[in-house]
Amino acid sequence: MEWEAVIGLEIHVQLATQSKIFSGAGIAFGAEPNTQACAIDLGLPGILPVLNESAVEMAVKFGLGVEAEIGMKSVFERKNYFYPDLPKGYQTTQNDLPIVGKGVIEVEPEEGKIRQVRIHHAHLEEDAGKSLHETYTDENGRGMTGIDLNRAGTPLLEIVSEPDIRSAKEAIAYIKAIHSIVTYLGISDGNMAEGSMRCDANVSVRPKGQEEYGTRAEIKNINSFKFIEKAINHEIERQIELIEDGGRVIQETRLYDSEKNETRSMRSKEEANDYRYFPCPDLLPVELDEAYIEHIRSEMPELPKQKKQRFIDELGLSSYDAGVLSATRPMAEYFEQVKDRCGDAKLAANWVMGELAGQLNKDNLEIEQSPVSAVQLGDLVKRVMDDTINGKAAKQVFAALWAGEGASADEIIEAKGLKQVTDTGAIAAIVDEVMANNPQQVEQYQAAPEDKRGKMVGFFVGQVMKASKGTANPQMVNQLLKEKLG
């Protein structure tokens, strides 16, 4: 039987506010345990929350970015459960009336295949603290649990998709699209390694063609692109095998173990907590008006979808190139800077997606970490365009810039003597020399039929370029060779 996976994702995005969602404590990553937790975050008696308005603004930005309905009245509720890293015994979150309603995101899991993933809603909430199970022992060496409340109260935007995703690959494309939007908007640093984006996946399978959904399992705690794909694929396989062996999937929460590449049961629906949601009486409903929404709308940056379209329409890039170059904000910024510097979008695109992307990939670097700046690359491309250097020399210059051997393309061209030779006389002299040194090849060439000669001329071009240390203008070399070889 052919199976189809049905996947819905819940993505927790940590918002890039200065302080926590209900307190003035900072939210920097990696601080000493409990140094960024004030009385409010500790849940001391008598404390009260005050909503951080910039978290609201960021949520609204996201909503506008995915063309969603904005909740003009949203309500914080309490989700009640006991856990040592949940200081108040409840999480303040939104349930019935979230700040962001239905929206949609376009994703392109493979070239030319565009899919719409609907957003069910997105809501604001506070993060819990962290339980540290490994590091602590008591005086008798027994394991103890430490609690770090630095993260408690960190603002999160939980983005809940409809079950519109059909494969792990689509899931990755969706997450990357979300990542791209939140980083474009500047509402999150999107740093998955530091937990700024965390993902829970609801996965079920059904026979292809069946309308009805299968029973779903929720996989928690997946926090890198790599693991998301593996965890989802593993879970799809587990469910298919289970059903094909005559079993049935039970509704439960499963935890992904990245070391063993497996999911295991955490709790079933029957054991699930009854969270006893009710409106938080310490916080007033958040009521927004049109003027506020319009003000935020007027400050929205260009988003990936719009940017891609502009790259196609105005710069004449292909849909694929436009998609790659607009995928992340740093990539788009880099590309646009190169393009502005050199003035040729297609050449700029080729360099960014070719030489630069290749080197970044090889050295495992992000574009923000590139040793060659966009200005340096733009100037280099400019020298190719004005025939100062040829393509081959340009690659040498790029390598030198990458290695830090000079501050600019011009400096390296000068130092290495890579300036292209365009003097006909000088090139003709080299051509003559090469022909004189290779009489046998000249004879063979001249004896060969017309249709074989094209290939054979390559040998002479190579020799001339070598003799000119790569500085001869290749077009002129070709032309002179053809003339002189007859």
Partner 1 sequence: MHNKTIAELAKGLADGEFSSVELTQHFLGRIDALDSQYNSFITVTPEQALAQAEAADATRAAGNAKALTGVPVAHKDIFCTNGVLTTCASKMLSNFVAPYDATVVDKFNSAGMVSLGKTNMDEFAMGSSNENSFYGAVKNPWDTNAVPGGSSGGSAAAVAARLAPGATGTDTGGSIRQPAAFCGITGLKPTYGRVSRWGMIAYASSLDQGGPMARTAEDCALLLNEMAGFDPKDSTSLKKAVPDYTADLNQPLSGLRIGLPKEYFGKELSAEMSDAIMASVKEFEKLGATVQEVSLPNTMLAIPSYYIIAPAEASSNLSRFDGVRYGYRCENPENLEDLYKRSRGEGFGKEVQRRILVGTYALSEGYYDAYYRKAQRIRRLIQQDFLNAFNEVDLIMGPTTPTPAFDLGSNTDDPVQMYMEDIYTLAVNLAGLPGISVPAGLVNGRPVGLQILAGHFKESQLLNAAHQLQTATNWHQLAPSAGQ
Which part of the chain contacts partner 1 (CB under 8 A), choosing from 79-87, 116-124, 342-350, 380-388?
79-87
- The distance of closest approach from Cβ of residue 274 to partner 1 in the complex, given in angstroms and rounded to an integer, is 5
The letter for the amino acid at 185 is: L
Q: Given the complex with partner 1, which of 29 and 277 has the nearer CB atom?
A: 277
Nearest to 23 by CA among 35, 44, 41, 46: 41
- The distance of closest approach from Cβ of residue 249 to partner 1 in the complex, given in angstroms and rounded to an integer, is 23
- The distance of closest approach from Cβ of residue 273 to partner 1 in the complex, given in angstroms and rounded to an integer, is 10
Q: Given the complex with partner 1, which of 45 and 404 has the nearer CB atom?
A: 45
- The distance of closest approach from Cβ of residue 147 to partner 1 in the complex, given in angstroms and rounded to an integer, is 7
Q: Given the complex with partner 1, which of 24 and 417 has the nearer CB atom?
A: 24
| Contact pick of 84, 143, 207, 354 for partner 1 (by CB under 8 A) | 84
Judged by CB under 8 A, does residue 39 bind partner 1? yes
- The distance of closest approach from Cβ of residue 89 to partner 1 in the complex, given in angstroms and rounded to an integer, is 2
Which part of the chain contacts partner 1 (CB under 8 A), choosing from 42-50, 309-317, 345-353, 394-402?
42-50
Residue numbers 275-334 binding partner 1 by CB under 8 A: 276-278, 281-284
| Contact pick of 44, 114, 144, 415 for partner 1 (by CB under 8 A) | 44
| Contact pick of 51, 160, 288, 485 for partner 1 (by CB under 8 A) | 51
8 Å CB contact between 35 and 233:
no
| Contact pick of 2, 30, 82, 140 for partner 1 (by CB under 8 A) | 82
Which part of the chain contacts partner 1 (CB under 8 A), choosing from 36-44, 114-122, 318-326, 367-375?
36-44
Q: Given the complex with partner 1, which of 122 and 280 has the nearer CB atom?
A: 280
8 Å CB contact between 202 and 216:
yes
Instruction: Sketch the per residue contact string, 127 through 166, with partner 1: x for CB under 8 A, - otherwise.
Output: --------------------x-------------------
Judged by CB under 8 A, does residue 109 bind partner 1? no
- The distance of closest approach from Cβ of residue 51 to partner 1 in the complex, given in angstroms and rounded to an integer, is 7
- The distance of closest approach from Cβ of residue 24 to partner 1 in the complex, given in angstroms and rounded to an integer, is 10
- Residues in the site for partner 1, rule: CB under 8 A? 39, 42-51, 78, 80, 82, 84, 87-90, 147, 274, 276-278, 281-284
